[in-house]
Every structure is written in structure tokens, then in C-alpha cells.
Structure 1
Amino acid sequence: MTDFKKIEEEALLEVLHAAESYEEAALYNTEKVMQAFRKHMVSDFYLKPTTGYAYSDVGREKLDEIYADIFKTEAALVRSQFVSGTHALAVALLGVLKAGDEVIAATGAPYDTMQTIIGVPVKNPGSLTDLGVVYKEIPMIGSQIDLEKITAAITAKTKMIHIQRSCGYSSVRKTLRIEEIGTICKAAKAIKPDIICFVDNCYGEFIEKQEPTEVGADLMAGSLIKNLGGGLAPTGGYIVGRKDLVELASYRLTAPGLGGEMG
């Protein structure tokens, strides 16, 4: 007869080291979030409803400040109007990139919903390639980034490096560690200092003690339906990063000139 208790004990022992490291990161990030709420003196005052266009919504403004604080960035755009992480990613990319700009995918082919945003292999109406953005893709070597080819691909026209942190739906590549993301950002900026390092952080929040925006990422987006929502948020997403880039994204979410001032 199979000794399931013994199998369970052996399995738990095998993953003990990993479980302890994640537990440490979870406690560290819980404290980080609590400190941000204390710093910004969050109270029921910020939960009051607004009407009309929701101008000067102090709750919304405070939430943006908290996210910017947690991710160590200049600005944040946190909205329930984002229907998914993919939507937040699309708003960030379409807000920042223009016709003639070049974007390099540093982590190989992105997952399927990102491919529809980029417009590869099919140039979907309204996608980046349909709007005239030039797209390059650097395959990973197994589960490792090809830093040499990434830096060699950067030209004067390169506006952005796209980094997908999660392995997505791939059974080949692995999820990137913070230090790996930092290495890509540092190497890219050594070639072209004004290049924008953009990170798709879906599923990556609070996994480690640092976030990509602390190691060189200029712009980052993700979903509230996943880690940040704690499994409770039914919708929503976020964009964090440099103030000018977040502002450009906000114009794509609402309208030019309106940005994050309403909603």
C-alpha cells in the first residue's frame, strides 16, 4: 500500500529551501506595503465616492502615490478600467511608441496576447507593427538571455527594450530573476543611454524583495487580477515608471490632455 504520508513529507522536504525563500520575500513585501499605507496615512476618508468625471478623486490619487512608493518610481497609473494585464501592457506600449520607433523583444517570442498587441506574426489592425513600429525579436538560448545579440541589435532608431519577466506559457524558458533584468537594462543603457527598458511584470510582483523598476526598468505594467490583487480583485491593472512615460500611457487610456486626472 502506498505510504502517502511519507511521500508528502519527502516532497515538502525537497521544496523546503524554496518555500523558505518565498516566505521571507512575502513577509518583506507585506511590511513594505504596510509601511507605504502608514506613510500615506490611508484612512476611510480616501474611500469616499466621487461623481461626474471624478476630477480630484483623492482616493485614486493616493492609490497612485502608494504604488509609486512601493515600486520606487516617479509615477503610477492604477485603474480598474484596465480589463486585464494585457490591456495595461497595450496602453503602455501604444502610449509611448510611435511610427518609426524600434522595439526589441529581449526575451524571445512573447506569449500569444502580447503577439496580438505587437502584431507578430500577424499584423493585426491597430497593433504596433500596423501603426509603423519596427519590431525585432532576440530568441533566448534555452532559458538564458542572449545579451550579446540584444546589445548588437540596438541601433539609433531603437526606442525600447521589451522584457517579459514571466515564462508565460512556455515550457522551455524560465522566469527571469531581478538580477537578470538588471543586467539587460544596464547593458542596453550602456549602448544607448536614452533607451526605454519596459518590463511586462505580470505574475512577478512581490516574488522577490526588489522589483524591476529598482534595477533599471523605466516603465512597467501588470495586472491587479494576479499577485497585487491577492486573488480578490476582479479586474484592473497598473503602469508605473518615469513620470513622462506614465503620462503618455495615461493619454492612451483616456484621452490626450486628460490622462490620469479622471476616472
Structure 2
Amino acid sequence: MSLNDLHPLTKAIRLRSPQTLQNEHSTPLYLTSSFTFDEAEAMRAAFADETDDNIYSRFSNPNVDEFIAKMCMLENADAGFATSTGMSAVFASMFALLQQGDHLLCCSSVFGSTFTVVTKYLPKYGITCTLVPANDKEAWEAAVQSNTKMVYLETPTNPQLEVIDLEWAGQFSKKHNLILNVDNCFATPLLQRPIEYGADLVVHSATKWIDGQGRVMGGIVVGREDLIKEIYLFCRNTGPALSPFNAWVLSKSLETLDVRMQRHCANALKVAEALQNHQNVAWVKYPFLPNHPQYEIAKKQMAFGGGILCFEIKGGLEAGRRFLDNLQMLSVTANLGDSRSIASHPASTTHSKLTDAQRSAVGITPGLIRISCGLEKDDDIIADISQALNQSAAKV
């Protein structure tokens, strides 16, 4: 039985770098900054890209290569490049391919740092951006300009969990000859594979579900080989490379991604269902709840609903802060996708630098709470959220 005959989930466990003479069962760490050559000609050929020999760990490393190979296999991508963080992957996927005079279409509901990159930093280099509501198809059509080159979107979005129809996004981008760049961090390739719907690039913050235990940072861009080549050359010269140790951790993490995501998703659905009738909750949003606005789209393109849910606590900004203060088990931290459940209040943290009008435009309400469901027993997660809600409600 060859590796090609195996299921992708099995490949995520069995795909690995070649064994050394030690016949180790687990891939060793290659903690080296550079690699040596036996002769000048071999080094010349490597620098001329005539061979795949490793030169320098900013360019490539066996641990990093193994992680990239696994992610490309899971996402059904041609090639990839791994970066030091998720945001370096997001930035590289844009800056390596856009130039002065180009125009970017971006979903208005995106991670706060992504919002800052496209609205503050890209314009400094003559790259303009139009923010478009996630599911307003007429607005997407109207926003296309003669110099538009790329579409960037998240689905589900962060933190409002809007679900964008990837089939439509693929058709829209192809119609206008645009690069479709999709942040698949919330879903992971276990729940959806945007490339199968026409995406040209897929980016991840591997810090989140890919690692899954809050240990290391990392990012990755996978997709079309021609586009990845440009991203590789950009990153090779500017330096946002993933460290070999972090790559080793992330590659090992992919071996348990399937079983972890099943538990995360099951917990999130149960928590979402439990919170729907809580007296201190105005609404709950989760892609696999039947009352989600894009429920049918989510069911079509996602295997499960993901590990994130959000809800609106009655009482607004102050109630949201009191809720965090009253949690006893859930972590209050700037992360998601951990084995531990996490609660955050976007209006006072990740999206606090946006104006009130900007937050309102992307659905960041004062009492919005985002929950990243961990691997704890679902009853314990629900109990802690419920008691914190009750404590907050007593002061509303």
C-alpha cells in the first residue's frame, strides 16, 4: 500500500520526512540555520534553483517542508509556504502579489489586524481597498474596478460567523479574473476546502486550531503553484519564515486535528443550543444552528459548524466586561482554537481600535461575546458560561 492510496486523514499522520540512518519513528528536529554542500557546483545548482537542496532555514527546512506538504495535501493545494505567524501569511499573500495601482476587494467582516493591514498599510504603497459586506452580492459586483486584482475573504468570518458561499465566490472571482484569497482559519481543511470551490490561495493562522494547544505561533499560505512561487520569493527575501521547532510542533499537531475538531465542533453546537434560551442572551449565532442566516450554505460547504460561537449579552459593553470577570473556568485571553475554552469581548479587545461606526458596520455590537470551545466536557463549559451570565444579569 503506497501513501497515495491512503485517506487524507491517514496521510496527515503517515506523511513525513525521510528517515535518517537512526530509523527514528518520529521526525527529528532540524535545528540548523544553514545546510552544507560537498562541492561548489552543488551549492551553485541549489542557488540557481536547479535542485531542491536545502540552503538556509529562512528558505526551507525539512521540518517546515513536512508541515507544508501535509497542509497542501489536506487543502488539495499545489504548493505552499509557511510563515512565522498567521498575520505574516495574510500580509504576504497580499503584498507579494499586489502592486502600486492595484485594487483589493475585501470582506468587511475580517479579523481586526487584517482590517488594519488593508485599510492603513496597503494604501501607503498605492494599493487601494474596498470593504464589502460579506453576503451582499450586488455590492461585490458594484465594487469591482478595472484595476481590481484580488478578492480576500474569511468564512466563517471573525467574529460574527457570517458564512460566505464559496461556490459563488469562486464563480465571481473567475468571472472577473480575480485572485480568490480565502482565510480558512476558523474552519480548517477538515471542515471545508476552499480550493475545491475555486479559491486560488488559502491562508491559515496555524497558531489556532492547527496547533490546537496554544503552544506556538505559525502561519501558512497554500494554493496555485505560480502564485505561491511569488509569495515564496517575497518571504525568502523579507524573512517571515516559520521556525523549524514550531513547524515540528505543528506537523505533529496535524496528526490529531481530526479527533480534536470533532470534539470542538460537538461542544460548540451543544453550547450554542444551550444558550439560545438563556434570559440574559439576546441572540446566539453558530453556523450549524438552523436559525443562522446562512445555515443552508454552511451545511453545503462545511462538514461541521466549527469550534466558535458568538452571542449578544444583554446589557451591552459593561455587561460584556462583567461576563468575562465572572468566568471561573474559561480562559480570558487573546487567542482561539485551544484545547481550553476561551471567551473574548471583541468590542473592548480585538476590534477596540475601530471606531464605533466601523464596529457597527461589521456587526461588532457592544455586547458581542466570542466563545472558542475547547476539549473540556461540554457540561462544564455550559455551566461556567451560564453562571457568568447569571452573575452579569444580576447587575443589569
Corresponding position of 2:78 = 74
Match of residue 133 from structure 2: 139
Aligned residue among 156, 166, 170 for 1:181: 166
Secondary structure of residue in 1 paired with 2:82: strand
**Cross-structure match for 1:52:** 33
Deviation digits for residues 224-256 of structure 1, max 9, x if unmatched?
111111225421111111112222222333307
SS in 2 for 1:185: helix
Partner of 1:200: 183
Match for 1:175: what amino acid?
E
1:147 is matched by which residue type in structure 2?
K
1: CA distance between counterparts of 2:12 and 2:231? Answer: 24
Tell me the distance in 1 between the aligned counterparts of 2:13 and 2:115: 37
Which of 131, 141, 145 is the matching residue for 1:151? 141
List structure 1 runs of 4+ shifted beyond 3 angstroms: 39-46, 258-263
Which residue of 1 is the match for residue 123 of structure 2? Answer: 129
Q: Could you tell me whether the CA contact under 8 Å between 1:251 and 1:260 is conserved in 2?
A: no
Instruction: Report what 1:9 is aligned to.
Output: none
Aligned residue pairs total 210
Distance in structure 2 (CA, Å) of the matches to 1:61 and 1:149 = 40
CA separation of 1:72 and 1:207: change in aligned 2, threshold 3 A? closer
CA deviations on 1:71-100 (whole Å, 9 max, x unpaired) are: 101101124x22xx2222112111111111
What SS does structure 2 have at the residue aligned with 1:254? helix
Match status 1:226 vs 2:208:
yes
SS at match of 1:98: coil
Q: Distance in 2 between matches of 1:71 and 1:181?
A: 14
Partner of 1:103: 104
Gaps of 5+ in 2: 1-6, 36-53, 56-60, 245-396
Contact map agreement 1:76 1:238 (CA 8 A) in 2: yes
Structure whose CA Rg is larger: 2
Q: 1:134 to 1:183 in 2, by over 3 A?
A: same
Q: For residues 233 and 95 of structure 1, what CA distance do their matches in structure 2 show? A: 28
How far residue 111 of structure 1 moved from its aligned partner, in angstroms, is 3.1
SS in 1 for 2:170: helix
- Alpha-carbon distance change, 115 to 232 in structure 1, aligned in 2, over 3 angstroms: closer
- Any stretches of 5+ residues in structure 1 without a counterpart? 1-30
Q: Hey, what's the Cα distance between the residues in 1 that align with 2:190 and 2:14?
A: 22
Specify whether residues 216 and 87 from structure 1 end up closer, same or farther in structure 2 by C-alpha distance, changes over 3 A only: same
1:243 to 203, 225, 242: 225
- Residues 184-240 of structure 1, C-alpha deviations (whole Å, 9 max, x = no match): 1212212x23x10011222221462x3112211111111111111122542111111
Give the Å deviation of 1:259: 9.5
**1:155 CA drift (Å):** 2.9
Residue 42 of structure 1: CA displacement?
Answer: 6.5
How has the CA–CA distance of structure 1 residues 70 and 168 changed in structure 2, closer, same or farther, with 3 Å as cutoff?
Answer: same
- Higher relative contact order (CA closer than 8 Å, sequence separation 6+): 1
- Alpha-carbon distance change, 207 to 262 in structure 1, aligned in 2, over 3 angstroms: closer
Match of 2:158 among 165, 168, 185: 168
Give the Cα separation in 2 of the matches to 1:184 and 1:261.
30
TM-score of the aligned structures, taking structure 2 as reference length:
0.48
- Tell me if structure 2 keeps the 8 A contact 1:250–1:259: no
Alignment CA distance shift 1:128-1:52 (3 Å):
same
Q: Distance in 1 between matches of 2:109 and 2:240?
A: 31
In 2: Cα distance, 1:224 partner to 1:109 partner: 20
Task: Output the aligned Cα RMSD.
Answer: 2.8
Identity fraction in percent: 21
